[in-house]
């Protein structure tokens, strides 16, 4: 070891999954580098990007371990990542049971890993410096606020902490966000705001509104739909403070923002905020933690908040001290707009195999005749969920998954939505040769075709043919497809819009006066206790697309309606939905969960194992449960027997899971932390043979 190498640095690097190498690796450096500095370091045969994590310590010549590898180049053109950012990463790694390096490196733009110090310095020269936000024409003539918006803004201004803004669809939550950001930036020249949305397709819409208000230079986006150079440019602008406002999806919660003073999480209930691959973090929960750590205000907004957030915002009552969040209510729509009337169609009273009831078709026809738009929501893409042979019972099962391949008529394929395996539709039954194989069930493609047939003879007010459009993951694959389809809806070219949940939330369609949900019953009796909550949110959000423009409704002489076709019209979920009564629904759900000891009254984690056989996966999980018996505090944590996942085989990999539950979050976290080394060791025993991977999912969203 040369004498110049005088410092030991603890560095976070992205170590291989389940390598059990520990959180930080030590390297030798000739100079003490500041924590947060990005460096290149050798790892195996590669050179990788790392983050200096702790204060450097001098290397003692007498230390027996002098074989530390030397640090490579430091990317010192970039300002070090701050203490608050490193605290956020460390908390996320600890809470979600992952390594610090995995979280830290995943949070950085991928292109940073490939740039040299010189290339990075050139990139940084292109960035503008931070300055006052220019007032745009829209900012100079802001819209008038309602009394509810004014009251919410006053409380956000006067109080600190986390706010739950419960605003019905169309109540003007976005305007509240815009005003909060404007007040912040006007009062503090170095302040930054983070605004999060659940899905990429909502980002351009919100980005346009923020740029119209604050100008192009003040706003950057961060989401996975961007190219690597775009992500790097946005990240550098946020890190330097040049970008005053960062808009993004869940990944944006890890953006390096030294001046962060405000975090907005729009549609905070949305399951998309929970990462489902790798480190399974909840961006909403991390946003709240980050706000507390950095002294930033946090606004969680939704018409149908998650039951966890609703419970955390409960007012104090008797001996209950109440929740940690401040609840703000905006129940009224802007202007004279009213929430749509909810109509239930009891499908038990309809002829067998009815897809759309006569009354619903008549209502859509009336809308078309008046030049209004309707939206038909079905949360299942493709033409039909399965192709089947009536003679021998063959069905279009996926050979690699325990699921059916979906029939897509447009390109005549059978496609597995789990592993992606795709084949052309066979000319005859592969089992018995019967040429008469038929689709069973309905997806958005088939519904679109069905509606086109039903309204083929109907004309629009100008005499032209009715136009049916479909928006789902299949119709929006090509770049720019979603934007052009949404533009067609906004311009009035589309009469009936068919789609999945992609169209159910966030969009501000001004001419839609009728929304219909075709087949929502599946979630009512799901084994997942969160399914009713998700269904209620989705239907409320869908209803919120109707009648958003009160002036348009008045001019048309129309009323906004939400039609729901169901076989369970008496279900309490629909009773609450008819009254737009989220409070009643939440009360009933929370009472059930309290009685059953489920979140938010208990805390959960899943231990998952993927293996070549189901027996191997379950044997690993059951052995892990037995090993946990010896851990301190194990008696405070319930471990249920291992079971297969609902879709137990995907891409020829068998999947099993074990639910772990405790009334104490601290007890659950202590057990999980102690369990990690046992799980790593178990992989190397006979019980671990055949196991491909295992993972811990803390606060799982679906079980």
Annotated binding site for Zn(2+): 389, 392, 398, 401, 416, 419, 429, 432
Q: Which residues contact 428 (CB under 8 A, 6 or more apart)?
A: 434, 435, 437
Among 627, 625, 654, smallest CA distance to 640 is for: 625
Annotated binding residues, written as ranges, equal 389, 392, 398, 401, 416, 419, 429, 432
**What separation in angstroms does the CA of 615 have from each of 112, 289, 654, 657?**
42, 39, 9, 12
For the chain, the distance separating the N- and C-terminal CA atoms, rounded to the nearest angstrom, is 53
| Backbone dihedral region for residue 172 (phi beyond 0: left; psi -120 to 50: alpha; all else: beta) | left
Question: What DSSP letter does each residue of 179-209 carry, written as one string?
Answer: HHHHHHHHH-TT-EEEEE-SSGGGHHHHHHH
For residues 172 and 146, is the Cβ–Cβ distance under 8 A? Answer: yes
Tokens of 286: 């991390």
Give the closest residue to 578 by CA, choosing from 544, 540, 545. Answer: 540
75 three-state secondary structure: coil
3-state class of 344 per DSSP? Answer: strand
**Residue 581 half-sphere exposure, CB side, CA atoms within 13 Å?**
12
Residue 317 near residue 153 (C-beta atoms within 8 A): no
DSSP state of 367: H
Q: What gap in Å lies between CA 656 and CA 645, rounded to an integer?
A: 5
Q: How many other C-beta atoms are found inside a 10 Å radius of the C-beta of residue 397?
A: 14
Question: Quick one: which of 577, 495, 584 has its CA closest to 543?
Answer: 577
Cβ burial 642-674 (10 Å sphere, 16+ → b, else e):
beebeebbbeebbbbbbbbbbeeeebbbbbbee
288-303 b/e with 16+ CB inside 10 Å = b?
bbbbeebebbbbbbbb
- Give the whole-angstrom CA distance, residue 561 versus residue 336: 16
Burial class of residue 590 (count of CB atoms within 10 Å of its CB; 0-12, 13-18, 19+): middle
What does DSSP assign to residue 425? P
Cβ count within 10 A of residue 225: 15
- The answer to whether 28 touches 68, Cβ cutoff 8 Å, is yes
In this structure, the chain runs to a length of 703
> 151: how many CB neighbours lie within 10 A of its CB?
14
Between helices 283-294 and 83-95, what is the axis angle to 10°? Answer: 140
The SS3 assignment for 304 reads: coil
Asked if 628 and 671 count as a contact pair (C-beta separation under 8 A), the reply is yes
DSSP track, 651-683: TTEEEEEEEEEES-HHHHHHHHHHHHHHHHHHT
CA distance 545 to 381: 20
């Amino acid at each position: 070891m040369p004498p110049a190498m005088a410092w030991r640095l603890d560095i976070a690097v992205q170590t291989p999954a389940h390598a059990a190498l520990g959180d930080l690796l030590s390297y030798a450096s000739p100079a003490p580098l500041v924590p947060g500095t990005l460096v290149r370091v050798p790892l195996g045969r590669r050179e990788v990007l790392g983050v200096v994590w702790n204060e450097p310590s001098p290397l003692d010549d007498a230390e027996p371990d002098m074989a530390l590898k030397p640090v490579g180049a430091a990317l010192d053109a970039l300002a070090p990542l701050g203490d608050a950012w490193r605290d956020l990463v460390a908390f996320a790694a600890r809470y979600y049971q992952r390594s610090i390096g995995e979280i830290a490196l995943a949070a950085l733009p991928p292109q940073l890993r490939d740039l040299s110090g010189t290339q990075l310095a050139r990139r940084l020269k292109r960035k503008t410096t931070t300055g006052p936000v220019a007032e745009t024409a829209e900012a100079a003539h802001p819209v008038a606020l309602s009394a509810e918006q004014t009251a919410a803004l006053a409380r956000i201004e006067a109080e600190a902490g986390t706010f739950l803004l419960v605003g019905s669809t169309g109540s003007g939550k976005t305007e509240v966000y815009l005003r909060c950001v404007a007040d912040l930036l006007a009062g503090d020249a170095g302040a930054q705001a983070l605004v999060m949305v659940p899905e990429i397709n909502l980002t351009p819409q919100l980005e346009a509104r923020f740029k119209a208000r604050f100008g192009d230079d003040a706003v950057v986006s961060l989401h996975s739909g961007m190219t690597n150079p775009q992500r790097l440019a946005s990240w550098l602008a946020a890190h330097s403070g040049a970008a005053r406002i960062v808009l993004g999806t869940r990944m944006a919660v890890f953006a390096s923002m030294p001046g962060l003073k405000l975090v907005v999480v729009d549609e905070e209930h949305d399951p998309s905020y929970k990462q489902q691959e790798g480190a399974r973090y909840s961006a909403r929960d991390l946003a709240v933690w980050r706000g507390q750590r950095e002294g930033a205000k946090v606004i969680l907004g939704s018409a149908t908040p998650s039951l966890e957030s609703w419970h955390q915002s409960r007012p104090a009552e008797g001996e209950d001290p109440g929740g940690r969040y401040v609840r703000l209510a905006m129940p009224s729509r802007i202007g004279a707009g009213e929430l749509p009337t909810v109509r239930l169609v009891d499908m038990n009273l309809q002829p067998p195999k009815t897809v759309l009831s006569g009354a619903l078709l008549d209502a859509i026809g009336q809308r078309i005749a008046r030049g209004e738009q309707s939206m038909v929501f079905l949360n299942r893409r493709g033409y039909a969920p399965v192709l089947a042979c009536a003679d021998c019972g063959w069905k279009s099962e996926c050979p690699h998954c325990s699921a059916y391949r979906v029939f897509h008529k447009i390109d005549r394929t059978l496609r597995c939505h789990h592993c992606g395996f795709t084949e052309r539709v066979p000319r005859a039954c592969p089992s018995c040769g019967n040429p008469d194989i038929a689709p069973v069930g309905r997806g958005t493609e088939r519904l679109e075709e069905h509606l086109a047939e039903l309204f083929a003879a109907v004309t629009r007010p100008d005499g032209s043919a009715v136009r049916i459009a479909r928006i789902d993951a299949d119709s929006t694959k090509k770049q720019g497809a979603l934007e052009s389809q949404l533009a067609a809806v906004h311009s009035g070219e589309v009469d009936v819009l068919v789609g999945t949940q992609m169209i159910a939330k966030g969009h501000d369609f001004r001419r839609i006066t009728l929304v219909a949900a075709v087949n929502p019953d599946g979630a009512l009796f799901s084994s997942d206790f969160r399914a009713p909550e998700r269904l209620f949110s989705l239907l409320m959000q869908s209803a919120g697309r109707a009648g958003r423009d009160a002036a348009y409704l008045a001019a048309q002489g129309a009323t906004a309606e939400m039609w729901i076709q169901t076989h369970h019209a008496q279900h309490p979920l629909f009773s609450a939905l008819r009254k737009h009564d989220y409070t009643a629904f939440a009360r009933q759900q929370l009472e059930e969960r309290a009685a059953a000891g489920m979140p938010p009254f208990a805390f959960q984690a899943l231990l998952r194992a993927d293996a070549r056989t189901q027996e191997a996966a379950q044997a690993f999980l059951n052995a892990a449960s037995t090993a946990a018996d010896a851990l301190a505090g194990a008696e405070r944590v319930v471990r249920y027997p291992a079971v297969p996942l609902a879709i137990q085989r995907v891409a020829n990999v068998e999947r099993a899971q074990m639910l772990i539950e405790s009334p104490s979050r601290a007890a659950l976290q202590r057990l999980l932390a102690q369990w990690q080394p046992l799980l790593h060791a178990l992989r190397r025993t006979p019980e671990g043979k055949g196991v491909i991977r295992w993972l811990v999912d803390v606060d799982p969203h679906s079980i």
